[in-house]
Structure 1
Amino acid sequence: MARERENTVSPRTVFSPYARLFAVPGAASFSFAGWVGRLPAPMLGLGAVLLVEGETGSYGLAGAVSGTLALSYGLAGPLWARAMDRRGQGLVLRWAMTAFALAGVAFVGSVVAGGPRWSWFLLAAVAGASGPNVGSMVRARWSALLDPAGRQTAYAFEAVADEVVFVLGPPLVTLLATLIAPSVGFLTGVFFGVVGGLWLAAQQATEPPLHPVDATAPTRRLAALTPTLLVVVVTYLGVGTVFGAIDVVVIGFAEEQGAPALAGAVLAVFAGGSLVAGLAYGLARLPGTLAARFVGTAVAFGLAAQLLWGVGSLPVLIGCGFLAGLTIAPVLVSGTSLVESRVAPGVLTESLAWTITGLTLGVTVGSAVAGAAVDAWGAERAFAVPAVAGGLAALLALVGAVLLRSPEAAAPDAGPLIEDDVKG
């Protein structure tokens, strides 16, 4: 009996790595604040599609506006992150959240009031550019507090937190937009973003150390863009294109099937699969280097996206979506871990923000191309867009694998490379 008890693995034992994360003082507070601050991620893009399509009836225009918001968010993210590395997260966040709230409300007002369409694009761009990437801030805090062994678990937990956002956000914004008014869904996302951002800004004790500019040192504006980071960012362009296309195509497909209110629930299934995979990935101790894991998970993601070619009904879409979702968190966690393992501390937040930029630039392309495809071909045929994009992501990772075999030398302030980096 004693031996049986010894061989029994309790849930507490299995999830003890996650419990150890939150034994770190302040960790639970900054992680939850960051989670709230990430709720706009699935709500604003989808909310913009629902708002603009509801006002105009055009998925092409809706996808273009949503893509503009994502594009500006992706381009501005590394700039915000660089400022935070140098001046601190709290100070920069307070300014950013003020601009974000004003721009978000102005965008909704322009669309609802029937303002000129150029103003929709302009205000969407300002709103997107005003939103720093909260996920990179939280990951930078974990990196400053944990040793390398704990970071995979922390990054996996944050990937799960991302997926919980994407499980809850799409149904919430869809229900608010369809049952109350299209503008309510978008504005709710703005509200959560401001609350989470200001809450995180107030937690100064867990901020990463500052890396102010050395006036005597040579200027290196692109110091963060190492070969490893470029491979991950380019691969994430394909991954993000899948994300952006899925949002638009699923909304159109649900409407074609006569069940527009189910679009958010269907999108939540994708995130649900990723949530399950993220929990498992964070507990696993996988063989191979970080580079090998990244390439392997990217290929798995690309193969899973090919399931979308067979979608012909909502039940089939739900099944394919869950299976494809199982590959999302692993490719995101492995890419983030690889970048973090080879980065100089002075550009950590900026480097992590560049990975999100790759995703959001892909979302921009995916939203615009998928919107045009839905208008031209119908939603069912438009599933070709995310399927092709997933295959492209896998191909880009395989081609870039050559650059990952010999890791670049760390920047002067990076310190020694960790063992996984040397073996990579």
Structure 2
Amino acid sequence: MASTVSTEPSKDTPAPTRPGYGQLLRTRGAWTFLLPGFAARQPFAMLTLSIVLLVQHTTGSYGVAGAAAAVTGVSMAVFAPWSGRLTDRYGQRAVLVPGVLLHTASGLTLTALALGDAPLWALFAAAVPTGASVPQVGPMVRARWGVKLQGSPLMSTAAAFESVTDELTFVLGPLLATALCTGVDPAAGLVTEAALTLVGGLLFAASRRTQPAVAPAGHARVAHASALGIPGVRVLIVTFLGIGSVFGGMQVSLAAFTESIGEPGLNGVLYGTFAAGNMISGVVCGAIAWRTAPRTRLLVGYGALALAASGLWTAHSVPLLAGLGLLVGMCIAPALITGYTLVEGLVPAGARTEAFTWLTGAVALGQAAAVTVAGQLEDRFWGGAGFLVPMGGTVLAFLVLLALRSRLVTHAGGTTVARGVGHRVPVAVD
């Protein structure tokens, strides 16, 4: 049976300084997939909120808007792992091009139906392919870094950079969607999301030199069987479901709160404060060469996230909500980055694309459930009741994480991760 030997230096050897972001970004050919890849990643962050704001505008109900967005999120979560499997088997371009075209057409159809006051079942019918076809560009970019930097010490820097990029996507996407839907037109968010997907996705697919080679069918089947079969991956999926509940609950509840006080434009300001905390902590966390074990960091960071999210529903003023939102945002990034770090240590290289898509799908599913429940709470109870969703989601996920934390430790002789975002390339030994 193949085992994995760490190339990490011993504990007695001082860890070398990780190369910086600047050196990474000077890698030849990197920008040919980074720029279009960043544009093509925006659908994941823009889609849910764009649907909520558009459908709420046309129907007047956050419950209906949340339900439509939830269908999209569930479809995204269900089909994301299949996208990862197909990518490993047939290649990125073969999966990405038809997916991008389908997503663009479906998103524009959903927009037209919402503006035409179509019945809810029609919105649901359009939401399914819209969510199912969201391009899984993040895992694809990570795979391309692996091709460019195989065996290089820059691999760990690339892993940190990708985690920060994910954070920036979560930050900029909702802000852009809010600005477009409230400042331009309620449909502008979805239309822009479709355009970014089309242009960014096709340009990303056109960069063939950095695309990983297609894995042999036999190897692909082994990788696909192992990703979800790893107990630690299943624990991380639950953890990321809780993170998704924060994004979904915050998006709906902040929009409802600012509308209730007659200042809908403040939605962008409040979400921007939450996003600023997320972005700042993401950049800082990604730049630190951690010595604390990732599992410990995840437990501490996630506990802080659950505690901060538990205070949101008590905020009844803009300054207090902004302060709590900033704190929650600062707790999100370390949890996400550490979760991706653990994937690198727990999952064999050939199965990581699928593992990453399980985690992104978990965030989408948690977000979908959150917008549904938060929308119903805002419609049926007091203003701000939707903030109970981030509290419930993170507390439940933290309890699961605490109970099953032993599954996040690799077996003896397997890989370990001693430095936070410093992902190591394991060496297989037969």
> TM-score with structure 2 length normalisation?
0.87
Matching residue of 1:299: 303
**Quick one: distance in 2 between partners of 1:233 and 1:143?**
23
Does the Cα contact within 8 Å between 1:300 and 1:394 map onto a contact in 2? Answer: no
Moved more, 338-347 or 163-172: 163-172
Q: How does 1:221-370 map to 2 (within 5 A)?
A: 221-225=224-228, 226-370=230-374
Q: Deviations over 1:189-248 (max 9, x none)?
A: 111122111111111222223213129x97775321111111111111111111111111
Change (3 A) 1:62 1:336: same
**Quick one: distance in 2 between partners of 1:309 and 1:151?**
41
Does the Cα contact within 8 Å between 1:107 and 1:120 map onto a contact in 2? Answer: yes
Change (3 A) 1:401 1:282: same
Alignment gaps of 5+ in structure 2? 1-16, 425-430
Moved more, 248-257 or 310-319: 310-319
Residue identity matched to 1:319: G
Q: Deviations over 1:115-141 (max 9, x none)?
A: 232110111111010112211211222
**Quick one: distance in 1 between partners of 2:412 and 2:250?**
35
The count of aligned residue pairs is 402
Matching residue of 1:131: 134
1:417 aligns with 2:415: yes
Does the Cα contact within 8 Å between 1:159 and 1:275 map onto a contact in 2? Answer: no
Change (3 A) 1:270 1:229: same
Does the Cα contact within 8 Å between 2:223 and 2:350 map onto a contact in 1? Answer: no
SS of residue paired to 2:384: helix
Q: How does 1:159-238 map to 2 (within 5 A)?
A: 159-214=163-218, 221-225=224-228, 226-238=230-242
Does the Cα contact within 8 Å between 1:69 and 1:125 map onto a contact in 2? Answer: yes
User: Percent identity, aligned pairs only?
Assistant: 36
Does the Cα contact within 8 Å between 2:18 and 2:154 map onto a contact in 1? Answer: no
Q: Could you say what the CA RMSD is over the residues aligned between the two structures, in angstroms? A: 2.4
How far apart are residue 391 of structure 1 and its match?
A: 1.8
Q: Deviations over 1:331-380 (max 9, x none)?
A: 11111111122222222211111111111111111011100010111332
Match of 2:28 among 4, 8, 25: 25
Does the Cα contact within 8 Å between 2:18 and 2:153 map onto a contact in 1? Answer: no
**Quick one: distance in 2 between partners of 1:329 and 1:148?**
26
**Quick one: distance in 2 between partners of 1:408 and 1:38?**
37
Matching residue of 2:39: 36
Does the Cα contact within 8 Å between 1:250 and 1:379 map onto a contact in 2? Answer: no
Moved more, 273-282 or 263-272: 263-272
Does the Cα contact within 8 Å between 1:94 and 1:198 map onto a contact in 2? Answer: yes
How far apart are residue 160 of structure 1 and its match?
A: 2.7
Q: Deviations over 1:373-402 (max 9, x none)?
A: 101113323212212222222222212202
Change (3 A) 1:139 1:379: farther
Matching residue of 2:107: 104
**Quick one: distance in 1 between partners of 2:388 and 2:218?**
49
SS of residue paired to 1:222: helix
Higher fraction of helix: 1
Higher relative contact order (CA 8 A, sep 6+): 2
Change (3 A) 1:310 1:115: closer
Matching residue of 1:7: none
Residue identity matched to 2:345: S
Does the Cα contact within 8 Å between 1:342 and 1:407 map onto a contact in 2? Answer: no
> TM-score with structure 1 length normalisation?
0.88
Residue identity matched to 2:135: P
**Quick one: distance in 2 between partners of 1:262 and 1:408?**
52
How far apart are residue 152 of structure 1 and its match?
A: 4.4
How far apart are residue 73 of structure 1 and its match?
A: 0.8
Flag as ranges the 4+ runs of structure 1 deviating above 4 A: 217-221, 418-422
How far apart are residue 288 of structure 1 and its match?
A: 2.7
Match of 2:70 among 43, 67, 72: 67
**Quick one: distance in 1 between partners of 2:76 and 2:132?**
5
Does the Cα contact within 8 Å between 1:163 and 1:272 map onto a contact in 2? Answer: no
Matching residue of 1:401: 405
Does the Cα contact within 8 Å between 1:45 and 1:69 map onto a contact in 2? Answer: yes
How far apart are residue 94 of structure 1 and its match?
A: 0.6
Matching residue of 1:10: none
**Quick one: distance in 1 between partners of 2:129 and 2:298?**
33
SS of residue paired to 1:384: helix
